[in-house]
Amino acid sequence: MTTNPFTEEHNMLRDSFRQFVAKEITPNVDEWEKNKICDREAFRKMGEQGFFGVSFSTEYGGSGMDLWSAVVIVEELTQANAGGLALSFFAHTYLPLPLIYALGTEEQKQKYLVPALKGEKIAALGITEPGAGSDVGGITTSAKDMGDHYLVNGSKMFITNGTMADFIVLVVRTGEGHNLSLLLFETNTPGFSAIPVHNKLGMHTSDTGQLFFENCKVPKSVLIGKENAGFYYIMNNFQEERLIAAISGTSAAEWAMEKAKQYMKERIAFGRPIGKLQVLRHKLAQMAVAVEACRSFSYRAVHEFIEKGPEAIGIISMAKAYTSEESYKIINDALQIHGGWGYMEDYGIARALRDNRLLTVGAGTTEIMYEIISKMIIDDVEHKRKLIDVRS
């Protein structure tokens, strides 16, 4: 793997997306954070400029670039310290859409993927329930086979874009044990309702919803892929989601470290800049080392995913566990360097810290990452399951 995976095309994408973020995102972040939601217009503008579709095929309105283009988008959006908005955008693009892209029928792709990449329809992925998160096999929301249609009943919890979504890639029980299936569920279906979950520690801009399904009648044509194969589809799809988490944690940590560096030059204590204090210089040096370690780790995981697909589960789980834990420590150190001002909203570090806290919980907790890694290294489990490459 080369140390710099970015081509001239990626660099041009970075420049144009950075300009877009400065014009359309940064000026609105405080307002969205206060309102605890962004407006649909933000999705439309992202889609209109083609930024949702950078790594999707041109056939469906994407740019046909590789996964490094998605890395560019994630890094630049994270640099805007808009974690909640980034979560909403990533939960739209990199959670439900790869499943439709890989497994959907042509009709499903035209009806859902194409308008979602344009930002005209908002998507969500509904796995977690009030009684089951890490234990995906324990979900109870069911789709009962009624001959020519399914009847969906149950509820979902903590679903990003839950109240804004036009459609949800919904994980439902269609049999015993791990017999789960994926449905393309339209939120205008009678019997569906959603309420916002506002009492969150951070990620305020992102719309988090609790969803209810009461005798929702949906046609059989909304099934994605094969019935009862949903558990395996979801396990594979987690790999891309975890890579996005690793990249965004690394980028947020780098942002916070740069802020701390700047502050060390400006802040005077005991008659000189705090940047002259060796204890803080060493702290910053340690933060820089940790940022580099996170970057190397997450880039290697992206590289392996491009080469091997979901079989790169080992390195991806390691990168996700390491970067999410380490980035929180780095941002926490950046807050410490800002003293009391770090605890205030003025410098953005407080927001970065509370937003980043989600990373060790979402997309598979750190404990679940260690569970996967330990099975691989102690029990020698290969984790090859029924692999479905969500990129092809």
Ligand X SMILES: Cc1cc2nc3c(=O)[nH]c(=O)nc-3n(C[C@H](O)[C@H](O)[C@H](O)COP(=O)(O)OP(=O)(O)OC[C@H]3O[C@@H](n4cnc5c(N)ncnc54)[C@H](O)[C@@H]3O)c2cc1C
C-beta of 200 vs 391, nearer to ligand X: 200
Position 38 contacts ligand X (CB under 6 A): no
Residue choice 32, 90, 101, 158 for contact with ligand X (CB under 6 A): 158
241 flagged as catalytic: yes
Does position 358 interact with ligand X (CB under 6 A)? The reply is yes
Closer Cβ to ligand X, 238 or 299, answer by number: 238
CB nearer ligand X, residue 127 or residue 301: 127
Please state, in angstroms and rounded to a whole number, the distance separating the CA atoms of residues 140 and 56. 32
Q: What angle do CA 68, 69, 71 make, to 5 degrees?
A: 60
Binding of ligand X at residue 237 (CB under 6 A)?
Answer: no
Q: Which amino acid is at 198?
A: H
371 sits near ligand X (criterion: CB under 6 A): yes
Looking at 102, 151, 361, 373, which residue binds ligand X (CB under 6 A)? 361
Q: Give the range of 152-160, 261-269, 312-320, 342-350 binding ligand X by CB under 6 A.
A: 152-160
Rule CB under 6 A: choose which of 81, 88, 93, 128 binds ligand X.
Answer: 128
Q: Tell me if 126 contacts ligand X by CB under 6 A.
A: yes
> Which residue among 25, 42, 65, 368 contacts ligand X (CB under 6 A)?
368
135 vs 382, which CB is nearer to ligand X?
A: 135
Does residue number 133 form part of the binding site for ligand X (CB under 6 A)?
Answer: yes
End-to-end CA distance of the chain: 22
Q: Backbone dihedral region of 141: left (phi > 0), alpha (psi from -120 to 50 degrees) or beta?
A: beta
Site string for ligand X, 80-119 (x = CB under 6 A): -----------x----------------------------
Q: How far apart are CA 17 and CA 150, in angstroms?
A: 42
State which residue, 150 or 158, has the beta carbon closest to ligand X.
158
φ, ψ for residue 6, nearest 5 deg: -90, 135
Give 45 or 354: the residue with its C-beta nearer to ligand X: 354
> CB of 126 within 8 A of CB of 211?
yes
Of 33, 76, 227, 241, which is the active-site residue?
241
Site membership for ligand X, residue 160 (CB under 6 A): yes
Q: If we measure between CA atoms, which residue out of 146, 133, 136, 115 comes closest to residue 181?
A: 136
DSSP secondary structure string for all residues of 23-38: IIIGGGHHHHHHHTS-
- Give the amino acid at 316: I
CA atoms in the 13 A half-sphere facing the CB of 38: 29
Q: In 248-371, where do the E strands start and end?
A: 268-269, 272-273
Q: How far apart are CA 234 and CA 232, in angstroms?
A: 5
Distance (Å, rounded) from C-alpha 115 to C-alpha 131? 33
DSSP code, position 63: -
Site string for ligand X, 194-233 (x = CB under 6 A): ------x--x----x-------------------------
Q: Tokens standing for 115?
A: 């308008």
Contact 97, 113 (CB under 8 A): yes
Binding region for ligand X (CB under 6 A) out of 26-34, 51-59, 155-163, 303-311:
155-163
Give the separation between CA 265 and CA 282, rounded to whole angstroms. 14
> Segment near ligand X (CB under 6 A), from 127-135, 184-192, 273-281, 382-390?
127-135
Q: Looking at beta carbons, which residue is closest to ligand X?
A: 133
Stretch that binds ligand X, among 109-117, 125-133, 226-234, 249-257 (CB under 6 A): 125-133
Per the listing, tokens 């890094």 go with 75
Find the part of the chain contacting ligand X (CB under 6 A) among 21-29, 102-110, 248-256, 357-365: 357-365
| Number of other residues whose CB lies within 10 A of the CB of residue 264 | 19
The residues assigned a catalytic role are: 241
Contact set with ligand X (CB under 6 A): 91, 124-128, 133-135, 158-160, 200, 203, 208, 358, 361-362, 365, 367-368, 371
